[in-house]
Structure 1
Amino acid sequence: MKFSHMIFGISCMMTAVAVNAQAADYPERSISLSVPYGSGGSTDGIARQFARLLEAELGQPVVILNQPGATGTLQLGNLARARPDGYTIGFYSYSTATFTSQLLKVPYKRDDFELLGGVAEFSYGMVVRPESPINNIKDLVSKAKSESGVFFGVTGAPNNFPFLQLQKVTGGRFDQITYKSSAESINAVIGGFVDVALQGPSEYVELVKGGKLKVIASASNYRLPWFPDTPTIKEQGYDFGITGIIGIAAPKGIPENVKTRLQAAIHKVVSSGEYGQFLVSRFGIKSYPASAADFSTYIDNGFSIMKNMIKTYDIKG
């Protein structure tokens, strides 16, 4: 063996030993958790509570990096390019990963990520003005079939899916008005600019309590924890609903023992009663303690589901 080859081989061996030693001591410093939306919203609030509990589990600070922009794809693009050492992880949204990535040109692909487990399942509900004659899905469809039709306010997918599906199966007219934030869409309902909006319950619970809005349906596959008397769309005769699953991902290539450590810590946090109760009481949503394998399967199956959705409803980017 040539001397230079021997030196190269020894160098590679020493590097591997150093990397493995570093991974064995993981984590030795703070961890960054990227979030696809700005501070102050429900996703940010979920992230901060999750980070606080993950800090306690891992023994190192977990720092939130808010990276809004490009309908969530900016954050995932940054995450895909991050160093795969376990010190940069991020929220991984079902709709951004499986829907937006097939609708728009994005700087990442599914294989760029290592999925580590589930975090939360968002809830969705439809709200209208209290004086509106729309009290349920039957009334909504009836309005859509009238001359004026229905104007609905959303921030984009997946919030618009139930309206697109209702239009397809009923022949009613549903016109979409897209807003930059969920608050804007809710205010548009209150101001009479749209007939109905679909958002998470934390965006309107106080307005419902104050008599400024009413909930006509849960658009999730279960009744909303804060509005248990309001039936789901499925219970009202139309077999569809939406889910907003969020999990945790890391760049592909993180060391196996680091991945195992993160998976165990994430699952312990999300399975805890403290975390689950926080989500219900603060945001009216559910925890999603899926294993890395189950979350990966859910995401992988979602690509074909969303591809069919885009084709069936002729959704444009």
Structure 2
Amino acid sequence: MSLDRRGLLTLGALAAAGGAIPSGARAQAFPSRAITIVVPFAPGGNTDLVGRIVATALSKTLGQSVVVDNRPGAGGAVGAGQVVRSAPDGYTLLLAGGGVVVTVPEMTSTPYTRADFAPLSLVNRSSMVLLARSNDARFRSFADFAAYARSEEGKLNAAHSGPGTPNHLALIQLENLLGTKFTVVSYRGSGPALSDLLGGQIDVHFDQVTSSLQHIRSGALRALAVLGPSNDSALPEVRTVSQLGFGEIDGTTYIGLLVSARTPKELRDRLAGAIRQAVADPQMIKSARDLGSEAYASTPEEFARILEAEYAISSRAVREGRLKAD
């Protein structure tokens, strides 16, 4: 679908917004203290796990401490709002994808708009999987799940990691493919959802491989299908929804670092370069692979295009009434 003119202009500001350029001395001194990466979800989920390996790599690149600050709530809007309110000095970054930045503001009132952020670089991409407990006899395969969801419409409790997250969008896509509805349960991140899935409080969960891989490998959870265009190297035996004959779905999750758009361009450029260098670090690449994801850097412009593409999908879902805040 095409974007309206307002959407295009606003999203363009994500890559172009800037402020006064600091003096050369100020830029050379940056960073002179610890940098905070705000993770707008609870500990234990995909974004949190990625945030911790990024913080380690970026600290090495910048020669300063980089700390993770979890601020969950409102589909990521609590943490994102904190970044917008912070001083535009480059010391407070947001780790997020399109769900927090462009989708949640379409769904509900937030203390920010997508134009309040300037993308710096993507840092990670990961596949999404549909998860069930390994001891749940109802869901031995994706075909079992699909048959149950269709025959018992509204009875299946399906969880996602927060309103407007890629997990939420993948859930909606799967409802469309199967022509049925789930009883949707929203969480403040993957960590709490995984705990409830393991405990039997919910039936299935839409999650990134990154945060669920340890439970799949332990045998506690079963990956019923990859919700993406291709198999995931961490789970080569798990087939995609398309390969299983149920149609196309893409839950690939991109995560990147953003900063307040009021941050001076010289500082944004310094940070963007440091992030790309950190993502290319061999230890960062290995750590991401161990999590079941891929270290993936970009230019600010490429990140802005990813955000624009997600805006096109989510804004349509909001207008159709299929994507709502809790």
TM-score range, shorter chain: 0.7 to 0.9
Partner residue in 1 for 2:257? 248
Pair 1:83 & 2:87 matched: yes
Q: Is the 8 A contact 1:125 1:224 kept in 2?
A: no
1:150 to 139, 143, 156: 156
Report the CA distance between 1:189 and its aligned residue: 4.1
Pair 1:56 & 2:64 matched: no
SS of structure 2 residue aligned to 1:121:
strand
Matched residue type, 1:246: I
- Pairs within 5 Å for 1:207-218: 207-218=215-226
RMSD, matched Cα: 2.6
Matched residue type, 1:143: Y
Give the Cα–Cα distance (whole angstroms) in 2 for the partners of residues 17 and 310 of structure 1.
Answer: 38
C-alpha spacing 1:141/1:58, structure 2 compared with 1 (3 Å): same
C-alpha spacing 1:186/1:63, structure 2 compared with 1 (3 Å): closer
Give the Cα–Cα distance (whole angstroms) in 2 for the partners of residues 111 and 244 of structure 1.
Answer: 21
Partner residue in 2 for 1:229? 237
Partner residue in 1 for 2:31? 27
Partner residue in 2 for 1:298? 306
Report the CA distance between 1:266 and its aligned residue: 0.6
Report the CA distance between 1:229 and its aligned residue: 1.0
Give the Cα–Cα distance (whole angstroms) in 1 for the partners of residues 21 and 217 of structure 2.
Answer: 60
Give the Cα–Cα distance (whole angstroms) in 2 for the partners of residues 207 and 123 of structure 1.
Answer: 16
- Pairs within 5 Å for 1:101-120: 101-120=105-124
C-alpha spacing 1:313/1:162, structure 2 compared with 1 (3 Å): farther
Partner residue in 1 for 2:7? none
2:101 to 97, 101, 105: 97
Gaps of 5+ in 1: 1-15
C-alpha spacing 1:17/1:308, structure 2 compared with 1 (3 Å): closer
Give the Cα–Cα distance (whole angstroms) in 2 for the partners of residues 314 and 229 of structure 1.
Answer: 32
Q: Is the 8 A contact 1:234 1:241 kept in 2?
A: no
Partner residue in 2 for 1:275? 284
C-alpha spacing 1:232/1:61, structure 2 compared with 1 (3 Å): same
Give the Cα–Cα distance (whole angstroms) in 2 for the partners of residues 17 and 150 of structure 1.
Answer: 54
Give the Cα–Cα distance (whole angstroms) in 1 for the partners of residues 206 and 234 of structure 2.
Answer: 15
Partner residue in 1 for 2:182? 174
Aligned length: 301
Partner residue in 1 for 2:271? 262
C-alpha spacing 1:83/1:190, structure 2 compared with 1 (3 Å): closer
Report the CA distance between 1:168 and its aligned residue: 2.6
Q: Is the 8 A contact 1:121 1:287 kept in 2?
A: yes
Deviations 1:93-147 (A, max 9, x none): 2211121111010111122122111111233211223352434433322222224
Partner residue in 1 for 2:292? 284
Pair 1:307 & 2:312 matched: no
Stretch of structure 1 that moved more, 121-130 or 16-25: 16-25
Deviations 1:183-230 (A, max 9, x none): 443454445544322223354434434433321101233323321111
Deviations 1:131-188 (A, max 9, x none): 5243443332222222465332333333233343333343334222334553443454
Q: Is the 8 A contact 2:126 2:210 kept in 1?
A: no
Deviations 1:25-44 (A, max 9, x none): 32233322222134454433
C-alpha spacing 1:228/1:59, structure 2 compared with 1 (3 Å): same
Matched residue type, 2:148: K
TM-score, with structure 2 as normaliser: 0.81
C-alpha spacing 1:173/1:90, structure 2 compared with 1 (3 Å): closer
Q: Is the 8 A contact 1:141 1:166 kept in 2?
A: no
Q: Is the 8 A contact 1:31 1:63 kept in 2?
A: yes
Matched residue type, 1:154: H
SS of structure 1 residue aligned to 2:235:
coil
Q: Is the 8 A contact 1:84 1:253 kept in 2?
A: yes
Report the CA distance between 1:235 and its aligned residue: 2.3
Give the Cα–Cα distance (whole angstroms) in 1 for the partners of residues 73 and 268 of structure 2.
Answer: 28
Give the Cα–Cα distance (whole angstroms) in 1 for the partners of residues 38 and 152 of structure 2.
Answer: 46
